[in-house]
C-alpha cells in the first residue's frame, strides 16, 4: 500500500487486512516518560518544545524507541490555532492552558483572522516535516487538531472549565456569534490539517474533547456539523495513497451513527462504551479506534493483559480496529505498564486476523 515498513495502522483505518491489530496511545509522547521530562525541563516550558522542530521531533520519536508502536503522532497541542489567532496562550503550572485574551463578544469574533498554516503555524509544519524525515518510513505519522467546538470552548472560557457556562451562554443567548466563531475555526482547521498532510502527515485526527457536554440537539448544531464540514474539506488522497480521517468525541458514544455518517474513515471511542456494541451499531461503515480506560494502566500487568483480551474479543475477527486508550495516558503511569499493554495487543490479536 505504501513505502512504509509498517503500514498496519493505515490499513486498519481503511478496513484492509492486517496481521495483528495496530496500537498507539493518545499522549504517547509526554509526561509519563522520564526522557520527555528531561527535554521539557531543558526547554523551559511546553510550548517551547512544540515550537522547536528538533525538540518536537525528539519527543515524538521517544515512545517509538521504547515500544513497538504502529504509529507516531505529531507532538503539538490542540490550542495552536487559537494561539495563532492572537489569544495569548500560556500554561500555568498544574492548571492547564489559559488565554490572556478570551473571546467573549461579537466584535472580538469578527476581528479574528484565519491563520495561515505556513506563516503563523509554520513551526507546526516544520515539526511535521522534520518528524516525517526522521521516521524514515518506519511507521505512519498522525497529524491532528482540536474540533471547532472544543477550540471555541477554551477561547470563550479563557481556559479549562467545569461548568461550560461561558460557552453555553454564547450558544444559547448569541448563537449567531458562536456560529461565526465555529465557522472560522472550521475553515482554520481545514487549512491547518491540509497543511499537515502536505508536510507529510499520513493520517489526521480531530479531537472533540468537549462535545460530550452538549445535549444531542446541540451536539449536532454546535459540534458535529462543523466536523462534517472539516471532513468534507480535507485532502483524502496524496499520490494515490489514502489519507484516513478519525473523529473522536469524548463521551460521544450515543452519537456513533451520526459521527460515522460524516464520511470519516474511523470513529474514536472512549471507555464508556462497549466496543462490541459500537461495532454492531456502525457495521462496516467505519473503523473503530479505542478503547481501554487509561486508568487500567495502573493495574498489575496481568490485569492489563486480561483487559486487552476482553476488548479484542469484543471487536472480534477482521480488520477495522485500531487499539488505543479511551483518552490520553496519565502522567504518573509506569512506562513498563504501557509497554506490556502494547505488546499484549500484538500478542493476543493475531488470532483475529487469520
Binding residues for substrate, as ranges, are 27-31, 77, 154, 209, 327
Residue numbers annotated as active site? 27, 31, 40, 77, 154
CB 192 within 8 Å of CB 115: yes
CB 116 within 8 Å of CB 124: no
Q: What DSSP string runs through 169-195?
A: HHHHH-HHHHHHHHHHHHHHHHHHHHH
CB 85 within 8 Å of CB 115: yes
Q: What DSSP string runs through 324-341?
A: EESSPPPTTS-HHHHHHH
All three cell numbers of 122, joined, read: 509554520
All three cell numbers of 250, joined, read: 469524548
Contacts of 100 (CB under 8 A, 6+ apart): 87, 88, 90
- Alpha helices in the chain, H assignment, sequence order: 8-13, 34-43, 46-51, 53-66, 80-82, 106-111, 122-135, 148-157, 165-173, 175-199, 216-219, 225-233, 256-260, 275-282, 301-315, 335-349
**Which residue numbers belong to the known binding site?**
27-31, 77, 154, 209, 327
Amino acid at each position: 500500500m505504501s513505502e512504509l515498513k509498517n503500514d498496519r495502522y493505515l490499513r486498519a483505518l481503511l478496513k484492509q487486512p492486517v496481521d495483528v491489530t495496530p496500537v498507539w496511545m493518545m499522549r504517547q509522547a509526554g509526561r509519563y516518560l522520564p526522557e520527555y521530562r528531561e527535554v521539557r525541563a531543558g526547554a523551559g516550558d511546553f510550548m517551547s518544545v512544540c515550537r522547536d522542530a528538533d525538540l518536537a521531533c525528539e519527543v515524538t520519536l521517544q515512545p517509538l524507541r521504547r515500544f513497538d508502536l504502529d504509529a507516531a503522532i505529531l507532538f503539538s497541542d490542540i490550542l495552536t490555532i487559537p494561539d495563532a489567532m492572537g489569544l495569548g496562550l500560556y500554561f500555568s503550572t498544574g492548571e492547564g492552558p489559559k488565554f490572556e485574551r478570551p473571546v467573549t463578544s461579537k466584535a472580538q469574533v469578527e476581528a479574528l483572522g484565519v491563520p495561515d498554516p505556513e506563516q503563523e503555524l509554520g513551526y507546526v509544519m516544520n515539526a511535521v516535516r522534520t518528524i516525517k524525515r526522521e521516521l524514515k518510513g518506519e511507521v505512519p505519522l498522525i497529524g491532528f487538531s482540536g474540533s471547532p467546538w472544543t477550540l471555541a470552548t477554551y477561547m470563550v472560557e479563557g481556559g479549562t472549565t467545569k461548568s461550560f457556562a461561558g460557552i453555553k451562554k454564547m450558544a444559547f443567548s448569541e448563537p449567531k456569534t458562536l456560529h461565526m466563531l465555529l465557522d472560522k475555526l472550521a475553515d482554520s482547521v481545514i487549512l491547518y490539517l491540509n497543511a499537515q498532510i502536505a508536510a507529510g502527515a499520513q493520517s489526521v485526527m480531530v479531537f472533540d474533547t468537549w462535545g460530550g457536554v452538549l445535549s444531542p440537539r446541540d451536539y449536532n448544531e454546535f459540534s458535529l456539523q462543523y466536523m462534517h464540514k472539516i471532513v468534507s474539506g480535507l485532502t483524502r488522497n496524496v499520490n494515490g495513497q489514502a489519507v484516513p480521517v478519525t473523529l473522536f468525541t469524548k463521551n460521544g458514544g450515543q452519537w456513533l451513527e451520526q459521527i460515522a455518517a460524516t464520511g470519516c474513515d474511523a470513529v474514536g471511542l472512549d471507555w464508556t462504551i462497549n466496543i462490541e456494541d459500537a461495532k454492531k451499531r456502525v457495521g462496516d461503515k467505519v473503523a473503530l479506534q479505542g478503547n481501554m480506560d487509561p486508568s487500567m494502566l495502573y493495574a498489575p500487568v496481568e490485569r492489563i493483559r486480561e483487559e486487552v483480551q476482553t476488548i479484542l474479543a469484543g471487536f472480534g475477527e477482521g480488520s477495522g480496529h485500531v487499539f488505543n486508550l479511551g483518552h490520553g495516558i496519565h502522567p504518573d503511569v509506569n512506562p513498563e505498564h504501557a509497554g506490556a499493554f502494547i505488546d499484549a495487543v500484538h500478542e493476543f490479536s493475531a488470532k483475529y486476523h487469520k
